[in-house]
Structure 1
Amino acid sequence: MNRSFEKSNKMLGRALEIIPTASQTFSKSHLQYPKGHAPMFIERGLGSRVWDVDGNEYIDMVNGLMAVSLGYNDPDVNRAVMEQLSKGICFSLPSELEYELAQLLVEIIPCAEMVRFGKNGSDATSAAIRLSRAYTGRDKVAVCGYHGWQDWYIGSTARHLGVPQPVRALTQTVPYNDLEALENILKTETYAAFILEPMNVELPRPGYLEGIRKLTESTGTVLVFDEIVTGFHYALGGAQEYFGVTPDLSSFGKGMGNGMPIGAIVGKKEIMKLQDDIFFSGTFGGEALSLAASIAAIKKMKREPVIKQLWSFGGRLSAAVEKVIAANGLGDVLSLKGLDPWKVLSFSGRGDVSAMAVRTFIQKEMIAQGVLLLSSHNMSYAFTEGDHVAVVSAYEKTLDALASGLKRGTLVAEMGCPVIEPIFKVR
């Protein structure tokens, strides 16, 4: 299908003059989409669909980087937001919504004895690290996964420009599923915390999560689960409920507000009480619209089979795509990793064609077929049977074209756009 991106491209040119990367989020920016063959700006969304500024319609498999768990313009969330809007947004004292949402989280999340709110995942993970340092009296932190943009974490990645070396030296990266590597550093030096995504593209090996729980307890290290992605996708209580391992602290965000800006740090009372002494405070931490949205979203997740449907449609889609991959002989360049609510596309090169070239081609062709795709299946409750059929059909056409291009040896030459450059790899 021929799609025009004329308005998108013109708007991109104007935006780049006054907004670095023309976006507030690297993963939403033009840097992560095939140049000239993808929308740069979205105008509206409804259910599982979005429309760009040129009027093109897409099934959205990105869903606001997993922030939209129920679907765009969910009527229950919208109703709660509109009702609260008529009452007020930001008050001079806390609102009762703060207690109501905190109580909901305490009821459903295994480690949650106390709760504090922020505006995003980075707020929550950074609060967890400060709490851990205050609780233990230690400075160093071990990390495993992606944990936000603040200095304490981003200094450990390739995107560390602007982070002082003494700050960078306090954070140690540890490979996932390597209990021995974690044991080596925790028994060599004292660490305030080990923060990890309990599950990412790789399944935890049998005993791994249980092992890090025992190891952190024996070394006096605070165990923090970063559940920004896994929360409200794998189980209502997050990966800690799904895997049956309870951390000391956890961070949540993304799907808990169905697109509204909210994050939460939850955990053991003896650690969380130190919030009285550390300074984790913000004018908009109790912003009422996001609290109302989150309450409505979580109540809907409790009331309806939201999580079950993420698993069901995610599993069916993964199985169908894997059949298409096999039918086209592409198992060496494309595979799916992770659990069904969040399957990640893993790209590999073949011959002179790089992994990023394969990704670029797939994104370009899927967008041409009306599917907005980054590099994962971010499932939402609004995904329908019709969406499933359409996405599988798009994959059939895309992967057939990929196989043909690789066979001819002309894939990159015929792509018509530069190969996307990776931001950095942490998963």
Structure 2
Amino acid sequence: MAGNARNFARSNAIQARLHDLVPGGAHTYARGADQYPEDMAPILLRGSGCHVWDCDGNEYLEYGMGLRSVTLGHGYRPVLDAVTAAIADGVNFSRPTELELLAAEDFLSLVPGADMVKFAKNGSDATTAAVRLARAATGRVVVAVCDQPFFSVDDWFIGTTEMSSGIDDPATVKFPYHDLSALADVLAAVPVACVIMEAATALAEPEPGYLQGVRALCDRYGVLLVFDEMITGFRWSAGGAQQVYGVRPDLSCWGKAMGNGFPISALAGKREFMELGGLRTDRDRVFLLSTTHGPETASLAAFRAVVRAYASTDPVARMERAGRRLAEAVNAIAADLGIADYLRVAGRPSCLIYLTLNSKGAPSQAFRTLFLQELLMRGVLGQSFVTSAAHTDDDIDVTVEACREAAVVYRRALEQGSVTGFLQGRPVAPAIRRTAAPRQIAAAPRP
């Protein structure tokens, strides 16, 4: 096999021990070893900018950047300095801090149409709070969810996925993106509390008038419109997709890049709805969000430093420039090799993915794993090609050269008609699936 030899011995040993102690061997399914080539899942020790190092001494250029949570780069000094100063005076108190007010003011200055905000720790905190609030505001139960990959770890969404074991009826219906008539049919068929969706995704930009049409349908049927801005927020713009496309939701949910990797999320929305969780309402109150760690000072300080960085350094433009260079170069390589119909980089420049098809032109986990394997062997850690503002021209050049060599191996496998002899171990499997197979591992021996 082409590529540079890399040792994963210590990573594999630690991963095996993690499987003994942590269900799935990771605290996030998307970070699981089954998402990487078998016995080639690095255990990381540290990062700087867009470079990371694993416990075996291997260095990688990282893409995806903490599941899209890091846009400024690992160890970004202004964020670290702000966090260090904040935590020196304490992290968590029995009353609000002034920092909570300042962070709220910063946030609401960025988000058009939002009057109030509540901070939490995980994206699911925010989306589930939005659903609860919409149900209380409308007196309805059903949630209409756009057919997009992920919205929450909670029952109302996970009950619609392949991993629905242990979940009763989630009272959730789905509708396809870019189909106003399908959404209209859903809203006409059953009383709906809210429509929750990503306004855009890596591969789906809204057609002219689509989001405006969704807004109009929600208004017609008295349904709250909720935008999930977990990915689009601070990657499309600091004000999210709603700022880019000019459509205002009733509620919006934020997280990921808000703190450049520090744990923070937010629910924002119109005052008339958000106040249902406060002390200025005559209605029964909504248990909106109440978290011990939501207002801790480290993440709020990180968020404020991120806001300052976005105001002064334009990280989105830098991410998009790096992404455009990478996509154009890799797609040119695939074209030169005659495999452009099988290997392609696609998506918004700040949120790129790669598409991997087999010799029959069908999406293939096996060929995806082969490409990922060849990148890993050449020092690129990339489940996707999601960039950060820390990716330099030199980093892109190194990645392009790794992709060139990986694409040559990919073409050989296409010519053979399979990855046999090229791929080490079993292919990756969808992170959210019903069974542990096809990447089930042997049970730990009983003592």
Structures share fold, TM-score greater than 0.5: yes
Report what 2:246 is aligned to: 244
1:294 to 289, 294, 303: 303
Gaps of 5+ in 2: 279-284, 434-447
Q: Conserved in 2, the CA contact under 8 Å of 1:203 and 1:338?
A: no
Report what 2:364 is aligned to: 355
Report what 1:402 is aligned to: 410
1:310 is paired with a residue whose SS is helix
Report what 2:190 is aligned to: 189
String of CA shifts for 1:352-389, please: whole Å, max 9, x gaps. 98610111001100011101011x22211111111010
Report what 1:343 is aligned to: 352
Return the alpha-carbon distance in structure 1 between the equivalents of residues 361 and 38 of structure 2: 21
Report what 1:176 is aligned to: 177
Report what 2:391 is aligned to: 383
Report what 2:71 is aligned to: 69
The within-5 A match list for 1:258-337 is: 258-276=260-278, 277-279=285-287, 280-337=289-346
Return the alpha-carbon distance in structure 2 between the equivalents of residues 46 and 325 of structure 1: 30
Report what 1:133 is aligned to: 135
Q: Which amino acid aligns with 1:204?
A: P
Return the alpha-carbon distance in structure 2 between the equivalents of residues 301 and 33 of structure 1: 33
Report what 2:53 is aligned to: 51
Return the alpha-carbon distance in structure 1 between the equivalents of residues 361 and 249 of structure 2: 45
Report what 1:113 is aligned to: 115
Is 1:421 the counterpart of 2:423? The answer is no
Give the CA RMSD over aligned residues. Answer: 1.4
Q: Which amino acid aligns with 2:404?
A: E
Q: Conserved in 2, the CA contact under 8 Å of 1:114 and 1:272?
A: yes
* Cα deviation, residue 42, structure 1: 0.6
* Cα deviation, residue 221, structure 1: 0.6
1:294 is paired with a residue whose SS is helix
Return the alpha-carbon distance in structure 1 between the equivalents of residues 180 and 398 of structure 2: 42
Q: Conserved in 2, the CA contact under 8 Å of 1:333 and 1:355?
A: no
Q: Which amino acid aligns with 2:19?
A: L
Q: Conserved in 1, the CA contact under 8 Å of 2:115 and 2:268?
A: yes
For the structure 1 residues 107 and 37, does the alpha-carbon distance in structure 2 shift closer, same or farther, using more than 3 Å as the test?
same
| Count of matched residue pairs | 420
Report what 1:365 is aligned to: 374
Return the alpha-carbon distance in structure 2 between the equivalents of residues 327 and 222 of structure 1: 49
* Cα deviation, residue 411, structure 1: 2.0
Return the alpha-carbon distance in structure 1 between the equivalents of residues 344 and 177 of structure 2: 19
Report what 1:149 is aligned to: 153
Q: Conserved in 2, the CA contact under 8 Å of 1:5 and 1:54?
A: yes
Report what 2:199 is aligned to: 198
* Cα deviation, residue 408, structure 1: 2.6
* Cα deviation, residue 416, structure 1: 1.6
Return the alpha-carbon distance in structure 1 between the equivalents of residues 362 and 125 of structure 2: 39
Gaps of 5+ in 1: none
1:221 to 214, 223, 236: 223
Return the alpha-carbon distance in structure 2 between the equivalents of residues 17 and 389 of structure 1: 40
Return the alpha-carbon distance in structure 1 between the equivalents of residues 418 and 128 of structure 2: 46
Greater shift, 84-93 or 307-316, is seen at: 307-316
Is 1:22 the counterpart of 2:14? The answer is no
1:58 is paired with a residue whose SS is strand
Return the alpha-carbon distance in structure 2 between the equivalents of residues 387 and 282 of structure 1: 40
Q: Conserved in 2, the CA contact under 8 Å of 1:111 and 1:249?
A: no
For the structure 1 residues 180 and 337, does the alpha-carbon distance in structure 2 shift closer, same or farther, using more than 3 Å as the test?
farther
1:298 is paired with a residue whose SS is helix
2:92 to 87, 90, 93: 90
Q: Conserved in 1, the CA contact under 8 Å of 2:370 and 2:422?
A: no
Return the alpha-carbon distance in structure 2 between the equivalents of residues 229 and 297 of structure 1: 15
Q: Conserved in 2, the CA contact under 8 Å of 1:111 and 1:250?
A: no
Q: Which amino acid aligns with 1:59?
A: L
Overall identity of the aligned pairs, in %: 38
1:293 is paired with a residue whose SS is helix
String of CA shifts for 1:167-198, please: whole Å, max 9, x gaps. x2x10111111111101010121100000011
Return the alpha-carbon distance in structure 1 between the equivalents of residues 422 and 329 of structure 2: 27
